[in-house]
Amino acid sequence: MKHSITVSQLAKMIDHSILHPTFTDEDLRHNCHIALQYHVASVCVKPYHVKLAAEIVQGSDVAVCAVIGFPHGNSTIGIKVQETLQVIADGATEVDMVINIGKALQHDWQYLENEISAINQVCIENHAVLKVIFETDYISDDKDKIRLCEICNHVKVGYVKTSTGYGFTRQPDGSYNYHGATDHDLKLMRQYCNPAIGIKASGGIRKLEDLLRVKSLGASRVGVTATKQILDEALQFYTR
């Protein structure tokens, strides 16, 4: 049975993540060609890979998204601003920034508003879209997430995003793992963010059912590495 939504529409929800620290230039090329094959929304890449990624996808319908302050958000505001300017100059039209997590945990909301506002202003001036990563594995208090949503509403960012996929926390058995995009956090972010702000779910989305679930909760973008697996599965049930 075919459904009303198309595989093309599902693909345009995907920022194909090419962020693992071990990825080489050849890994980047391989993954960019996957992104081009499936016509996803963007390739999400490390800052030094932006220029090469932009060359590979030039002239296509796939954008280049760059991460800054990734994955722990610890750079100063000035460095994050300069990093944003650099990735945009190199060809990024979307920017995913990690907030200063420590400042959020100590409730220094003015610092965070200054940080997000400064980077968003650079993006606006250079026709780029900003996505603000909360890193919800570390920012676990709902009141703090709501306050971050309110700041993003005030600054008028493009998207808020759950996670980096690298927010590892110690588990009861002593290992390290992350939760990523939970249903609870997506519902909360959609409830407290203005309708004009998009929601990006990232972390733990590996199957078509995961993509459809987060879509139903209000996410309009997802960060995934399993693009091929998800969209190949979608082709069995949806029209192109």
Q: Please, which contacts does 146-154 make with residues 24 or more away whose CB atoms are closer than 8 Å?
A: 146/188, 146/192, 147/107, 147/109, 148/99, 148/104, 148/112, 149/188, 149/189, 149/192, 149/193, 150/192, 151/109, 151/112, 151/113, 151/116, 152/116, 152/193, 152/197, 153/192, 153/193, 153/194, 153/197, 154/113
In Å, what is the CA distance from 173 to each residue of 168, 170, 176, 185?
A: 14, 8, 9, 24
Number of neighbouring beta carbons within 10 Å of residue 85:
16
Check 96, 137, 185, 210 and give the catalytic one. Answer: 96
Number of neighbouring beta carbons within 10 Å of residue 156:
13
Question: Is 2 part of the annotated catalytic residue set?
Answer: no
Check 90, 200, 210, 215 and give the catalytic one. Answer: 200
Question: Is 96 part of the annotated catalytic residue set?
Answer: yes
Check 161, 185, 210, 215 and give the catalytic one. Answer: 161
Residues annotated catalytic, as ranges: 96, 161, 200
